[in-house]
Amino acid sequence: MLPVSQPLLNGDEKELLLECVETGWISSDGPYVNEFEERFSAYIGAEYGIAVANGTAALEAAMFAIEIEPGDEVIMPSFTIISCAVAVMRFGGKPILVDIEPDTWNIDVEQIEAKITSRTKAIMAVHMYGHPCDLDPILELAKRYGLMVVEDASQVHGALYKNIKCGSIGHISTFSFYANKLITTGEGGMVLTSDKNLAERAMSYRNLCFRKERRFYHTEIGNNLRMTNMQAALGVAQLRRLDEFVEIKRVNGVRYLDRLNRLAGIKAQIEKPWARMVYWMYCLELDASSGLSAEEMMAALAKRGVGTRPFFLGLHEQPILLKKGWYQGEAFPISERAARQGLYLPSSLNLKESDIDYVVEQVSEILEIGMLRK
């Protein structure tokens, strides 16, 4: 079985992890935490980095930093992981949803302004599947209405928006270092910002809101979201190769696109002229002419030894959010189509060209069967 994603851990990872064990620095107080924060924030182009336990924790810390309070609204795409909504809900806020673009699966910026109200506090730009959002219109809206811009950059390590690295453009950004990301710490995440106040708030929140001047004394409620020194050691080793990993992803992305674009019945994510995407996942969306749903394609590929994953289900269709009485009667057709017709193909960093050829051959054969059935 060709897996959807495997981390590449053949650099300095073992050496740095062994050092953590031998020195006893295994908790969040170890030196690699600071090193990883400094090196990663410098790589992205932000002044401050706050390492946390995972990407969801990064979103939560970012919401605390921008002071989301009960009744506040945060505009975001429906088509995203539920972590984005949960982070807002932790503080009593409400996610306000818009649809996505059909070609990048990123937030449709033309739908944002209509959702802005007196309760809107922020816009969350979720960079999807390795492709940047169109940030300039979002930043212009934020400036006009006095809003914060949060970049969820979990899937775009090293991606560029108009030659600027994603994660350094909004007021605050979040990254995930889960095992399927371009660089990994197993679990892990980071909040980035160039605003000192936001950085201090995120840093306080990840450490139970201890006061600097007095430990075990609290004026706000925080959480324990700290990253361990062992996780950070992995991150330092992985970061040394991030540019190499981006190049591998881009080369394989072009290979996939060259082959997939020859097939009828599907479309792949396009790269806008102002973007350098990093192809976090190699994705396709089946159209009506294929005669297949994503679920059917995934089942057929599994029988042929090809691992896949489905696209996100829109937040407006999540049972737990509907149970709250939210999004009743709301429809986001592009998100709905993507959820039903989209899937990830094998996307590991160690993917060989012959693997890509095999995957596309299987997709082609299954499409032929689907079209004949139709």
Average pLDDT over residues 206-228: 92
Closest to 233 measured CA to CA, from 58, 30, 40: 30
- pLDDT value, residue 100: 98
pLDDT band, very low/low/confident/very high, at 374 (cuts 50, 70, 90): low
CATH T-level topology, domain 13-239:
Aspartate Aminotransferase; domain 2 (3.40.640)
User: What backbone phi and psi angles, to 5 degrees, belong to 271?
Assistant: -105, 120
| Model confidence, pTM | 0.96
- Whether the per-residue pLDDT at 277 is higher than 90: the answer is yes
Average pLDDT over residues 234-260: 97
- Whether the per-residue pLDDT at 370 is higher than 80: the answer is no
Reported as type and span, the H/E element at residue 125 is: strand 120-126
pLDDT tens per residue, range 149-171: 999 999 999 999 999 999 999 99
**Residue whose tokens read 């970049």:** 151
- Whether the per-residue pLDDT at 60 is higher than 90: the answer is yes
- pLDDT value, residue 372: 55
Q: Distance between CA atoms of 60 and 277, rounded to whole angstroms?
A: 26
- pLDDT value, residue 371: 63
Q: What is the mean pLDDT of the chain?
A: 96
The residue that leads in pLDDT, 214 or 4, is 4
- Whether the per-residue pLDDT at 232 is higher than 70: the answer is yes
What percentage of the chain reaches a pLDDT higher than 70?
99
Whether the CB-CB separation of 14 and 161 falls below 8 Å is answered with no
- Whether the per-residue pLDDT at 331 is higher than 70: the answer is yes
- CATH architecture for residues 242-373: Alpha-Beta Complex (3.90)
In the chain, residues under CATH classification 3.40.640.10 are 13-239
Residue 361, token pair as written in the block: 């051959």
pLDDT tens per residue, range 116-132: 999 999 999 999 999 99
- pLDDT value, residue 211: 86
pLDDT band, very low/low/confident/very high, at 214 (cuts 50, 70, 90): confident
Closest to 170 measured CA to CA, from 224, 126, 211: 126
Residue 162, token pair as written in the block: 């108009």
- pLDDT value, residue 369: 82
Average pLDDT over residues 326-353: 97
Give one DSSP letter per residue of 4-37, joined into a string.
S------SSHHHHHHHHHHHT--STTSHHHHHHH
In the chain, residues under CATH classification 3.90.1150.10 are 242-373
- Whether the per-residue pLDDT at 332 is higher than 60: the answer is yes
Residue 275, token pair as written in the block: 């973007």
pLDDT band, very low/low/confident/very high, at 215 (cuts 50, 70, 90): confident
CB atoms within 10 A of CB 374: 11
